Structure 1
Amino acid sequence: MTLTVTEEERPDLSKPSSRFKACISKTFLFILSQWLLIGIGVACVIGYFFPNVAKHGGIIRSEYSILYAAVGIIFFVSGLSIPGEKLIIHLRNWRLHLLVQATSYLFFPAFMLGIVHLILATDTGKKIDVAILTGYIFTACLPTTISSNVVMTRAAEGDDAAALVEVVIANVLGPFISPGWTIALLPRSTEFAPWLQHNSSMGQMYQNVFRQLGISVLAPLAVGQLIRRIWNEHSVWFLQKFYAQKVSTACLLLLMWYVHPKTRLVAFVATSD
C-alpha cells in the first residue's frame, strides 16, 4: 500500500511561518541532544552564584547528599544496566588494563612533566607560581574520575562496562601510586622543597578514599548487579519506565555543582597568597 501526500498536506516551507517552525524544531532537537553539555554549564553557573548551597557542609550537606547519595545512584544504575558477563569479560582483558593504566599513570604524567620543565626553562620572570606547577604534576598523577567517566562514556554510546572496570581499578591503585609518583616526578630544586617534604602519615587518606569507594561505588554497583541477576525483566522495565540512565546523568550534574564552589575556594586562596 502506497501513501501519497497531497499538496494541501505537505508543509509549505516557502511561507515564513513554516520556516520559523522548522527552525525552532531543529533548534529544540539540537539543544535536547546536547543537554548534558548544557547542563554542565548550568551547574557551573548555579555553583558560581549560589556557592553556599552545595559546598562541603552547606545547606544540602553535599558531602552526604551528593558524594554518597548521588554518586551511589550513578553506580546503582550502572550495576542495574550492565550485564555481569560484560564486566567479567573486561576484568579478564589484561591488554585493556595495561593500555588504560599505562596511559593514566605513565603517559599523562610524562607529558605534564615535559610541560612543567618547559615552563621552568622559559618563564624567566617567574610569572607562574611554583604551587601551580606542582598542582599540574599532582593532577596528572591522579587516577581518572569515576562518575564522569562512566556517565560520559554511556552518553557517547561507548562501552560503559569497560570504562567502569578501568576507573575502579585506577582508583583502587591510585592511593598507592599517586602520592609517591608525584614526589618522584617533582623537580629537585629549592622552589619545590616544601612539597618534597612528605613526612605526614597517609593512613587517614587511605581510610577516607577506600571508605568512599566502598560505600558510594562498589556497594551500589554490587546491589544493582544482584537485582539485575534476580529480576532481570523487572530491571529492564525499571530502567525504561523511570528513565534511570537520565537520572544517573542528572546526578553527574549535581556532582559538577558540588565541585564548582570548591574550585572557586582554591582559586581564591591561590590569588590571595
Structure 2
Amino acid sequence: MFKLLGRIGIDGFLLGLMSMVGLAWVLPDFGRSGGHLHMDAVTTYGVALVFLLYGLTLPPERMKAGLVNWRLHLLVQTSTFLLFPVLVWACALALGGRVGPDLMLGFFFLAALPSAISSSVAMTSIARGNVAGAIFNATLSSLIGVVLTPLWVNWYLSAGGASLDLGRVLVKIMLLVLLPIVLGQALRPWARPWIERNIKWLKALDRVTILLIVFNSFSDSVAEGVWAGQGSGFVLQAAGGAAALFAFVFVSLRLACRLLGFSREDAIAGVFCGTKKSLATGVPMAKIMFGASPVLGLIIAPTILYHLIQLIAAGIIARRWQDEA
C-alpha cells in the first residue's frame, strides 16, 4: 500500500499534513494560538529552526556545478517569480471577485513562493535530467524568495487597498529567516560530520516543525469559525485552481524549452524547477507575514493542495520520462 502511494508521490509527510488539518478540526483549542499547547510560541521559534536547518544542510559546493548555465537559470527564475504571479493576477482580474478574497490571496501567495528544493532535485534525478542545474536553481530560488515573496504579496495587497506592515515583516524575515540561514552556513564547516550522521533526523525535525505550523494555522481558523462559511465549493475552487495552475505552467515551460532548443537534461530540470512551489518555505513565510490571523488556514490551503498535486503529477511524469530515457 505504502509503495503504491509512494509511486504516485504521496509519502508520510503528505499524510501528516492531512492528519494535522483533520486534528485541527477535531481539537482546535489544543492547536490554536494561546491555546492549551501554546502552539503560537512553538511555531514562532519553529520558523527560525526550519531555516537554521536549511542553512546547515545546504551544501554550497553543489551549487557551483550548475553556475554557468544562465539560460536555464533565467527560464526557471522567470517562471517562478514572474510567470506565476502575472498569471494569478490576470486570473484575479478576469474573475472579478467571483473567488473569495482570502482564497485569491492564498493563490497569489502560492504564486509568489520560491521553487521547492528537495522534490525538484529528486524528480529531475529520477527523470535523468540536469541534477546540478536543478540544485542551483531550486536553491537560488529559495534565497531570492526570502525577499521577493513578501514584496510581491505586499504589492498584491496594496493593489486591493490593503498592505502588509512591510517594515515589520522584513525585520522578522531578517531575524527568523536570513539570520538562521547565515548562522547555519557559518556552522556547517564545523558541524558537517555531525550533519551527515544525523541528516535523516534533521530532515524529520524540519518536517515536524512544518506540520506543527499547519496545525496551529488551521486550529486558529477553525476556532475563529472561519471555515464555518466555507463549503465544498471552497475546496473545489482551491483544488481546481491549483491543478489548472500547475498544468498551464507545465505546458508553457515544455513549449519554452523546445523553442529555446534546450537539451533533454536541461528541459527536465527547467520544467520541474519552474513548476514547483515550496511548501517548506511557504508555510513558515506565511506565519511570518500573516502572524496568527484567523484566515491563515484559508491562505495556505492553495499551497498545501498545490504541493499535493505537484508531487503526484511530477512523480508520474518523472517515471514516464525515466522509462523513455
Instruction: Give the TM-score normalised by structure 2.
Output: 0.53
Superimposed CA distance per residue, residues 244-269 of structure 1 (whole angstroms, 9 cap, x where no aligned partner): 21222222222221222244343347
Q: 1:117 to 1:84 in 2, by over 3 A?
A: closer
Q: 2:172 aligns with which of 212, 219, 222?
A: 212
For residue 85 of structure 2, what is the aligned residue in structure 1? Answer: 109
For residue 50 of structure 2, what is the aligned residue in structure 1? Answer: 74
Q: 1:177 aligns with which of 152, 165, 173?
A: 152
| Conserved 8 A contact 1:150-1:160 | yes
For residue 215 of structure 2, what is the aligned residue in structure 1? Answer: 257
Shift of 1:233: 2.0
For residue 305 of structure 2, what is the aligned residue in structure 1? Answer: none
Greater CA drift, 221-230 or 137-146: 137-146
| Conserved 8 A contact 1:144-1:171 | no
Superimposed CA distance per residue, residues 45-70 of structure 1 (whole angstroms, 9 cap, x where no aligned partner): 1111111222222233323211322x
| Conserved 8 A contact 1:54-1:258 | yes
SS of corresponding position for 1:59:
coil
RMSD: 3.7
Are 1:167 and 2:129 counterparts?
A: no
Superposed, 1:76-95 pairs within 5 Å as 76-86=52-62
Shift of 1:106: 3.3
Uncovered stretches (5+) of structure 1, i.e. residues with no partner: 1-26, 121-129, 185-194
Uncovered stretches (5+) of structure 2, i.e. residues with no partner: 126-133, 232-325
Paired with 2:32 and 2:215, the residues of 1 have a C-alpha distance of: 9
Which residue identity does 1:219 align to in structure 2?
L
Larger CA Rg, structure 1 vs 2: 1
| Conserved 8 A contact 1:90-1:165 | no
Are 1:44 and 2:21 counterparts?
A: yes
For residue 61 of structure 1, what is the aligned residue in structure 2? Answer: 38
Which residue identity does 1:139 align to in structure 2?
G
Superimposed CA distance per residue, residues 2-22 of structure 1 (whole angstroms, 9 cap, x where no aligned partner): xxxxxxxxxxxxxxxxxxxxx
SS of corresponding position for 1:39:
helix
Q: Percent identity?
A: 21
Superposed, 1:82-231 pairs within 5 Å as 82-86=58-62, 98-120=74-96, 130=97, 132-142=99-109, 144-145=112-113, 149-150=116-117, 153=120, 159=134, 162-184=137-159, 195-196=160-161, 198=162, 205-231=165-191
Shift of 1:162: 3.9
Q: 1:136 to 1:183 in 2, by over 3 A?
A: farther
Paired with 1:219 and 1:209, the residues of 2 have a C-alpha distance of: 14
Paired with 1:247 and 1:224, the residues of 2 have a C-alpha distance of: 15
Paired with 1:223 and 1:66, the residues of 2 have a C-alpha distance of: 19
| Conserved 8 A contact 1:97-1:166 | no
Instruction: Give the TM-score normalised by structure 1.
Output: 0.61
Q: 1:269 to 1:213 in 2, by over 3 A?
A: farther
SS of corresponding position for 1:207:
helix
Q: 1:28 to 1:141 in 2, by over 3 A?
A: closer
